[in-house]
Structure 1
């Protein structure tokens, strides 16, 4: 089964050998791949091991055979920063797909995974960290295996776009009345000095920053309750915040045009932000106010 030589690309016709991208790539055609986004502060990775571990878990879950061990991947990612002379705040995007092969739903035989990673500058979102963001609520229509960090992100993209069109920074997803997470982050509700968040199950991403938050709250003696809260509970929250590798710990001060608590970042959120900065060894000049 061979592909005819002339390909339509955009509005032009060209020979298949002249295309700048592999058109028979399973990540492109099926979303058949996994990825990670790893934060960099002052030229050094934050939570690198956690991201590498999750990358391997995701690949194993979808039966993609990676070309290296965890240690080899860490070494390659370190070398990537060195070769780019990366010394600033940034991020690395890392992706693996099942490979390039003639289009067929069944896994190809004797095809190696396609793997790449690249570095981008990514300064901290100081304004959002300092003042908080607004959010919307949105139905969670994703598949049930969101613990796999796969390339199948169209529901997330649509939710995030709707938030943007309403001048908001994030969409809080909910299913059967209960909040799961956000379109690209985990979400937490604070009430009476306790933090509530969806339990770690297959239908949410097991966030690397979330894992660190669990340690922070233990050190700070803040109750951390892994219990799903209802969409209606948001209006009664004292504080609301989200976490991700690119958003860090960001306060949510308004949801669906309704103020959360005092409308300003709360005490517990601030304590966790400070713990995050200390853990990430972020230089003092970049710190948000206490």
Structure 2
């Protein structure tokens, strides 16, 4: 069966879901997006995602045509129409379409809003169970990574290179310091069990899962250090892991061919993942 997709106020089958070839999201990647995880048919951490969407829109001057409450109802309707139990809801908002291709645009341009669901195994993920292999490389992205835009070509190319190299993902490096993963925030665990992750700035995405994990760590007396760290420090870490909306936490078992810790998912990453999933479901009910 075809999925039902939402486009600008209408629910249509995926084969009928179309936007103009002159849409600025298509021509210029002039668009922002969010992905909210779904567990047991429930939206996970959705409030944070919609708040970040509003921030991205303010930063870029893109109109948000519906309220957060209306967006939540659209998401829930898609979950119901597509009988989604586990996976995610993808949301993309472009600046819109205004005549022919032109770099400039008017202030009254109407945006394009698209949402669709994706079915995916999130809890019983093989990557969570066995861990992932990371390849490090230079961070070639623009300087406003705190805005969740669809300008993802550098990340796509980096992830593809990692895949071709026998790895699962990338960690990006700028000025000798880890910024983040290809689509995730990056963490290491020191020998004395401190969780280290880069502090928030324009250099990294302000991860919604990251915020929840740091609060959980504090609640369970796990010490956090928000500071920059080098790839060399990561090589020597007791554990390493990544977080994002649809991975929750995936342990990192090797970086650039160097084994991290025992080479198996670490106990602290595993504990945080289990706590987060339970908390997320309980909160969403």
Q: Given the two structures, how large is their TM-score scaled by the length of structure 1?
A: 0.87
Within a 5 Å distance, the mapping from 1:215-230 to structure 2 comes to 215-230=215-230
Cα offset for 1:83? Answer: 2.5
Q: Distance in 1 between matches of 2:180 and 2:130?
A: 21
Which has the higher mean CA deviation after the structures are superposed, 178-187 or 258-267? 258-267
Task: Spell out, residue by residue over 1:16-37, the C-alpha distance to the aligned partner (whole angstroms, 9 max, x if none).
Answer: xxxx651111001111010011
Of 33, 37, 60, which aligns to 1:62? 60
Q: Which sections of structure 2, spanning at least 5 residues, go unmatched? A: 1-17
Q: Is the 8 A contact 2:87 2:246 kept in 1?
A: no
Q: Helix, strand or coil: the match of 2:222?
A: coil
Distance in 2, matches of 1:217 and 1:36, equals 24
Larger radius of gyration: 1
2:225 is paired with a residue of what secondary structure? Answer: strand
Partner of 2:233: 233
Matched residue, 1:97: 94
The structure with higher relative contact order (CA 8 Å, sep 6+) is: 2
Tell me by how many angstroms 1:50 deviates.
0.8
User: TM-score of the superposition, structure 2-length normalised?
Assistant: 0.89
Query: 2-side partners of 1:129 and 1:98: how far apart?
Result: 36
Q: What's the offset of the Cα at 1:109? A: 4.5
- Report what 2:194 is aligned to: 194
- Checking the alignment, whether the CA contact within 8 Å between 2:42 and 2:281 is kept in structure 1 is no
Matched with 2:32 is 34
Structure 1: tracts of 5 or more residues without a match:
1-19, 283-290
Moved more, 72-81 or 167-176: 72-81
Q: What SS does structure 2 have at the residue aligned with 1:281? A: helix
Deviation at 1:71, TM superposition (A): 1.6
CA deviation vs aligned residue, 1:49-99 (integer Å, no higher than 9, x gap) = 11111111111111001111112211222222223233x111111000011
The answer for the alignment partner of 2:76 in structure 1 is 78
Contact 2:146 2:202 in 1 (8 A): yes
Matches of residues 141-220 of structure 1 in structure 2 within 5 Å? 141-191=140-190, 192-220=192-220
* Whole-angstrom distance in 2 between the partners of 1:35 and 1:201: 19
Question: Which deviates more, 180-189 or 99-108?
Answer: 99-108
SS of residue in 1 equivalent to 2:61: coil
